[in-house]
Amino acid sequence: MIINENTIPARPAPASSRGIIGWLRANLFSTPANSVMSLAGLAFLAWAIPPLFQWVVLEADFIGTNKDACTSEGACWVFVSARFQQFMYGFYPDVELWRVNIFFAEMTAVLVWVLWDKMPKRNWGGIWFLTGFPATSFLLLYGGFGLEVVETHKWGGLMLTLVLSLVGMVIALPVGVLLALGRRSDMPAISSFCTIFIEVWRGVPLITILFMASVMLPLFVPGDIEMDKLVRAMIGISLFEAALIAEVIRGGLQAMPKGQYEAADAMGLSYWKGMRLIIMPQVFRISIPGIVNTFVQLFKDTSLVLIIGLFDLLAVMQAGITDVNWPNISIEAFVFTGFVFWMFCFGMSRYSQALERKLDTGHKN
Amino acid sequence: MQADVAERAEEQAQHSISIEKLADAETMIELKGVNKWYGDFHVLKDINLTVKKGERIVVCGPSGSGKSTMIRCINRLEEHQEGIIDVNGVTLTNDLKNIEHIRKDVGMVFQHFNLFPHLTVLENCTLAPIWVRKMPKKEAEEIAMKYLERVKIPDQANKFPGQLSGGQQQRVAIARSLCMNPEVMLFDEPTSALDPEMIKEVLDVMIELAQEGMTMICVTHEMGFARTVANRVIFMDGGQIIEENAPEPFFNNPQSDRTKLFLSQILSH
């Protein structure tokens, strides 16, 4: 017989499994193969980082107005500063640039209001984001009410990329949710419509959709109805992304335990209340990685509007490369464009990870 | 635990409403000739059952006997194909209004709790009163706290379900149902997913509820609970009601061979 009356007090873990040494042991040098990989990785970084840093910063030229200012071995960032206006605004008229700047400022403010959880009255922020912000943005960027009209073919650069992405995201998410719910509907008419819509849009390359919207659509609609090329691109991108989002959401719906639907039903909640209060909040949480993945893809895919003659960030840069006054500038142009795209996408990624942590209520289904 | 439950049984013998008295109570639930199929599989066969207001029914039987399906038909989580189900004077039809009306008055507690993991305990309890009963938030919270106190976990009100033990979660689920002020409570194997040491805390809450006169239909294998609180015990097998009797004669003198076999299997150890 064994009787143990004494409670054994908790002791700290041994030094070899704590602190920096413990971390190194567990993560970098846990096995011989792992150690070799770690050392090879370090060697690669030591080989690659210094020359890269030298090219990007130490030996680069930052100041000047033309190619002649670039005398050293490194990158010629003068190109970026010389083309800064085109890169931000495309061919937007000089005297009207303040309107785009106000748009940038309002966008930043409203995004912070909606996305930062410490801001007051965030639901009002959400309402403004979906109503006042699009209205004021349209007025600012396009014109009307005393402001000079700036045709959309003059829009371009980062401004165009942001407009296309924001419109795409804001339309694609709710439409995608409806399509996902519709595809799971018990009503055959609704579910087959949604299934066909999703499969058709998802199965066609975006480049084809944009091309059709730009070149073929005018052949089918009566001549007197003329739709702006940018609007057509927006509709094409939004519906394409909605089909992708729908499948992400459907995955989330599929992952929900049946008991959640039953509990919502058993309390007397209607279908839409149950969806809004019980199912969708949980579906959004588990679908965050997929939704953000689609949004990141959308943000980058907006550069495909190049083929229908709209000049987004990447297109403006590419046009700059062909300029005879700036020979051999393509590396700088692509590195810089890539970096800007990466910054936005990385921002979305970080935000979504913070959101996932915030919404984690410790429940594993 | 068994001894404890038996002790309570005596205590409640005085409280419990006798079956004779119930005879003239109004009918709460009535199932008449209910049949249901899953595809070609006949799960419910000619179910006839009347539950009076204040009555407490325990349903037992082997798995796959249709007992869960039967109580899930009462609030339309499952649809029956033949027969009539009346709940509190309303007949179940395909009319969504009817279904939602019945669901307001019928509380349900599930085997796996089915709490909403993204909401706090308090929000779980106030959601349906606010959105279905249109109750002001403050009033709903007061009522929720009252019921959380009754199930003895008011201190967990602001935690999330994922932070609670199974027994605590099931008690929250019971409180959540009570917040809708239901006429009937349906329990679908409420203790089957719990660790043994947590079964008692849930059964205690259910016994208290029974003492207060709640109409209950409870699918369970807790025979001690059945002896303590049930007015009637129903034994189902193969989609049929095989035997229906007061707990005393049901356990001490079962009539059908299948009931005898079932009882010998679950009580033998």
Question: For an interface test with B, which of A262, A267, A284, A358 has the most B Cβ atoms less than 10 Å from its Cβ?
Answer: A267
CB-CB: which of B107, B108, B131 is closest to A269? B131
* Residue pLDDT, tens place only, A158-171: 999 999 999 999 99
Element (H, E) at B97: helix B96-105
What pLDDT sits at residue A322?
86
**Considering chain A, what is the average pLDDT of its residues?**
88
How far, CA to CA in Å, does B269 sit from each of B143, B264, B265, B266? 42, 9, 8, 7
Residue B232 and residue B216: Cα distance in Å, rounded? 11
Hey, are the CB atoms on B127 and A277 less than 8 Å from each other? yes
* Residue pLDDT, tens place only, A278-287: 999 999 999 9
* Residue pLDDT, tens place only, A331-342: 888 999 999 999
| Residue pair A299/A345 in contact by the 8 Å Cβ criterion | yes
| Torsion angle defined by CA atoms of residues A282, A285, A289 and A293, in that order, rounded to the nearest 10 degrees | 80
* Residue pLDDT, tens place only, B152-196: 999 999 999 999 999 999 999 999 999 999 999 999 999 999 998
Q: Which of the following CATH numbers is that of domain A155-359: 1.10.3720.10, 3.40.50.620, 3.40.50.720, 3.30.540.10?
A: 1.10.3720.10
| Residue pair A29/A42 in contact by the 8 Å Cβ criterion | no
What pLDDT sits at residue B201?
92
Instruction: Give domain limits for chain A.
Output: 155-359
**Residue A277 in contact with partner chain B when CB distance is under 8 A:** yes
Element (H, E) at B145: helix B137-150
What pLDDT sits at residue B23?
57
Question: In the 3-class helix/strand/coil scheme, how is A142-197 assigned residue by residue?
Answer: HCECCECCCCHHHCEHHHHHHHHHHHHHHHHHHHHHHHHHHHCCCCHHHHHHHHHH
Give the chain B residue nearest A282 (alpha carbons).
B118
User: Closest Cα partner for B269 from B227, B237, B223?
Assistant: B223
Hey, are the CB atoms on A267 and B103 less than 8 Å from each other? yes
Q: What does DSSP assign to residue A325? A: T
CB-CB: which of A267, A268, A361 is closest to B117? A361
| Residue pair B28/B106 in contact by the 8 Å Cβ criterion | no
User: Closest Cα partner for B112 from B75, B144, B55, B68?
Assistant: B68
| Residue pair B54/B215 in contact by the 8 Å Cβ criterion | yes
Residue B269 and residue B258: Cα distance in Å, rounded? 18
What pLDDT sits at residue B5?
56
Hey, are the CB atoms on A268 and B104 less than 8 Å from each other? yes
CB-CB: which of B104, B110, B160 is closest to A259? B110
* Residue pLDDT, tens place only, A90-134: 888 888 888 889 999 999 999 999 888 888 888 888 888 888 888
User: With bands split at pLDDT 50, 70 and 90, how would you rate the model's confidence at B17?
Assistant: very low
| Residue pair B159/A361 in contact by the 8 Å Cβ criterion | no
What pLDDT sits at residue B22?
56
| Model confidence at B8: pLDDT above 60 | no
Residue A15 and residue A236: Cα distance in Å, rounded? 59
User: Closest Cα partner for A147 from A88, A98, A87, A90?
Assistant: A98
Residue A230 and residue A308: Cα distance in Å, rounded? 9
| Residue pair B116/B127 in contact by the 8 Å Cβ criterion | yes
Residue corresponding to tokens 């605004």: A89
Q: What percent of chain B has pLDDT over 90?
A: 77
| Residue pair A49/A68 in contact by the 8 Å Cβ criterion | no
What pLDDT sits at residue B125?
95
Give the chain B residue nearest A362 (alpha carbons).
B162
How far, CA to CA in Å, does B136 sit from each of A121, A361, B100, B132, B139? 21, 26, 20, 11, 6
Element (H, E) at A293: helix A280-301
* Residue pLDDT, tens place only, A180-233: 999 999 899 999 999 999 999 999 999 999 988 888 777 777 666 667 888 888
Hey, are the CB atoms on A267 and B118 less than 8 Å from each other? no
CB-CB: which of B96, B108, B131 is closest to A266? B108
What pLDDT sits at residue A329?
83
Cβ-based neighbours of A4, under 8 Å, separated by 6 or more: none
What one-character-per-residue DSSP string does A104-124 give? HHHHHHHHHHHH-TTSS-HHH
**Residue A260 in contact with partner chain B when CB distance is under 8 A:** yes
The C-alpha of B4 sits at a distance from chain A's nearest C-alpha, in angstroms, of 28
Q: Which residues of A touch B106 (CB under 8 A)?
A: 266
Q: Which residue has the higher pLDDT, A141 or B10?
A: A141
| Residue pair A197/A179 in contact by the 8 Å Cβ criterion | yes
Q: Which residues of B touch A186 (CB under 8 A)?
A: none
**Residue A255 in contact with partner chain B when CB distance is under 8 A:** no
The C-alpha of A108 sits at a distance from chain B's nearest C-alpha, in angstroms, of 29
Residue A215 and residue A309: Cα distance in Å, rounded? 11
Residue corresponding to tokens 């059709």: A212
Hey, are the CB atoms on A363 and B110 less than 8 Å from each other? no
Residue B209 and residue B205: Cα distance in Å, rounded? 6
Residue B184 and residue B215: Cα distance in Å, rounded? 5
Residue A95 and residue A84: Cα distance in Å, rounded? 16
Hey, are the CB atoms on A365 and B160 less than 8 Å from each other? no
